[in-house]
Structure 1
Amino acid sequence: MSAANSPSAPAPPRAPASVRVSAPGKINVSLLVGPPRPDGYHGVASVYLAVSLFEEVHATATDTDGVTVTVQSDGALHVPVAGIPLGPDNLAARAAQALAAHTGHPAAVHLHIIKRVPVAGGMGGGSADAAAALVACNALWNTGLSNEELAGIAAGLGADVPFSLLGGAAVGLGVGDRLAPALSETPLHWVLAASDSGLSTPAVYGALDALRAEQQIQVPEPEAADPSILAAVRSGNARDLAAVMSNDLQDAALALAPELAGLLRAGERLGALAGMVSGSGPTIAFLTADTDAAAELETALRAEGHRALAVLGPVPGARLLPAVAG
């Protein structure tokens, strides 16, 4: 057979010029925090819930080596983006660089981030950006890594990044990076209320340590999530969950941002089943009975001048979006 007539190997799939990926913010339905460890971190046992407030990352191939970042605000919570780093310290940029280092692919990409999750709000918005950047660059560069391989890279970027990849509901142990999915098919309905100021996660953990020292409270390293909380999440029973959900960081967040106490009281006065600080705060997550109750609470909070948004969870983790025409 002549070379002209011989079958040729199939060409590898052509990498796209740009891709879009969404990744959800999260709330901690339960957060148990242990004592500080020698490495400065705290062990946790957390029940994560991914909710329908999505960050979006547009990744575009560039001709020059390096990762560039732009950011815009979008969505009902009107998230301020001033002060977000646009250089190598941006978590999405670090994710792209980590993927490039892992695969040997040149890190030549522009990342445009659309922010909807409150910045420094206790909802893992930066982690969602990093997870979205990993999925986006994996597709853009045609590097072909599996979800498990991406999760391995994610774990080196921050405790919440692996969950942003996974989504759904999960128990997080260690520093939150040891994940076990918690199957949940019935959605829970929440209203998020954003604060006008952010809280530093290290500062909130430091305030927790100070409060415990002052009150002479000693706690063990958490080894498991509360079974009653897991049962309520799995069943989607909002009233059962309202009775047991808790956050060890809440008192510390309220000590640093006392105005949040008034917001918590307002949400519960206006019909929430329960309210709590999300993660290290200052975003407040109010649990409601159903879709209608969430819509009513969102409207009532907005009428009193708060930035509020009804969401539900669980929702999937980082996902490719359809290409934009044109």
Structure 2
Amino acid sequence: MTEAWALESDGQLALGPVRVRVPAKINLHLSVGPLRGDGYHELQTVYHAISIFDEITARHGDSLVLTMQGEGQGELELDDRNLVVRAAQALATSAKVEPKARLHLRKQIPLAAGLAGGSADAAATLVACDALWGTGYSRADLAKIAETLGSDVPFLLHGGTALGTGRGEAVSPVLARANKWHWVVAFADGGLSTPEVYRELDRLRAAGAAPKPLGSADALLAALRQRDPAELGAALGNDLEAAAVSLKPELAATLQAGRKEGGAHAALVSGSGPTCVFLATDATHGEQIAEAVSPHARSVHLAQGPVPGARVG
């Protein structure tokens, strides 16, 4: 029997495999406030989904099983420590269905890279299993589950560009002129632990060694309404960059190469790092930046944004 592909969940059980593609995210603005009583920092961030993708394929099975290929193969746990498995279990619990599926992850987004790869995979799993099991959940329903899985997961359900507040989980779409921004994304060797980067930022601030906090995202939001990469570049910022560079000093050379030799409109660490991103005028300029930073990176990718979040097809 030929397996059929589901296009979107409509409350009907999918007959065959469901394939969902989900993008990476970068932070165009990441302002980190003081540590809260619950152990999180108060954030104001502008998320931006870019065209580097992971893919989840979900098939019917007798149990919940995860396999994978690509970035992190042999390193990434495939049991309930993995956000993919936890996302499937959370949806099954909410919908009161048996958590039975064969899930396969094709991974291009590297681990611990500041690109929310794990969160992206969780978002893709929610969409895929919703379609596979015919639970008929809306995106708003899935977003409520996503909040329990991680701060970035709700954004990856929607994609595009959005303002995140709280610990990042409260997401509001950003209305901006239709425009595609060109990015160069440099993957570093190794990863950085997000909690460790936050702790380093706290240490630097206590020692008076951190830059002044960014504060409001108003300037960045205003720049997004324009079509000028130079204006957008001047507004980009990340409070975690100093901490990431402190823990991984070689990132300074990567950022410098993009700015000076590549002529990027902006160079910054993505999220908690260690991935570095560079804003280009267009694809040709992106190639120039990529050539400049490639000696300092494990691999370099050209990308565009914004792109939609987790989608079946």
Q: TM-score scaled by structure 2?
A: 0.91
Any gaps of 5 or more consecutive residues in structure 1? 1-11, 74-78, 322-326
- SS where residue 272 of structure 2 aligns? coil
- Residue 7 of structure 2: aligned partner: none
- Cα drift, residue 300 of structure 1: 4.1
Match status 1:264 vs 2:247: no
- Residue 159 of structure 1: aligned partner: 151
Say whether the 8 Å CA contact 1:31–1:247 is kept in structure 2: yes
- Residue 206 of structure 1: aligned partner: 199
Say whether the 8 Å CA contact 1:189–1:291 is kept in structure 2: yes
- Residue 142 of structure 2: aligned partner: 150
- Residue 44 of structure 2: aligned partner: 45
Match status 1:133 vs 2:125: yes
- Cα drift, residue 298 of structure 1: 2.3
- SS where residue 144 of structure 2 aligns? helix
| Separation (CA, whole Å) in 2 of partners of 1:188 and 1:259 | 27
> 304-313 or 114-123, which moves further after superposition?
304-313
- Cα drift, residue 304 of structure 1: 6.5
- SS where residue 231 of structure 1 aligns? helix
- Cα drift, residue 306 of structure 1: 4.6
| Separation (CA, whole Å) in 2 of partners of 1:219 and 1:232 | 21
| Separation (CA, whole Å) in 2 of partners of 1:13 and 1:147 | 16
| Separation (CA, whole Å) in 2 of partners of 1:263 and 1:302 | 8
Match status 1:71 vs 2:68: yes
- SS where residue 308 of structure 2 aligns? coil
Letter in 1 for 2:277: A
- Cα drift, residue 305 of structure 1: 6.3
- Residue 57 of structure 2: aligned partner: 58
- Cα drift, residue 154 of structure 1: 0.5
- Residue 231 of structure 1: aligned partner: 222
Say whether the 8 Å CA contact 1:187–1:236 is kept in structure 2: no
How many residues are paired up? 301
Match status 1:242 vs 2:233: yes
Provide closer, same or farther for how the CA distance between residues 18 and 37 of structure 1 changes in structure 2, counting only shifts above 3 A.
same
| Separation (CA, whole Å) in 1 of partners of 2:157 and 2:48 | 12
Aligned with residue 111 of structure 1, among 79, 100, 103: 103
Letter in 2 for 1:57: I
Aligned with residue 245 of structure 2, among 246, 254, 258: 254
Q: TM-score scaled by structure 1?
A: 0.88
- Residue 76 of structure 1: aligned partner: none
Letter in 2 for 1:282: P
User: What RMSD, in angstroms, separates the aligned Cα atoms of the two structures?
Assistant: 1.9
Provide closer, same or farther for how the CA distance between residues 304 and 41 of structure 1 changes in structure 2, counting only shifts above 3 A.
closer
Say whether the 8 Å CA contact 1:187–1:314 is kept in structure 2: yes
| Separation (CA, whole Å) in 2 of partners of 1:253 and 1:236 | 30
- Residue 84 of structure 2: aligned partner: 92
| Separation (CA, whole Å) in 2 of partners of 1:221 and 1:247 | 7
The structure number with the bigger radius of gyration is: 1
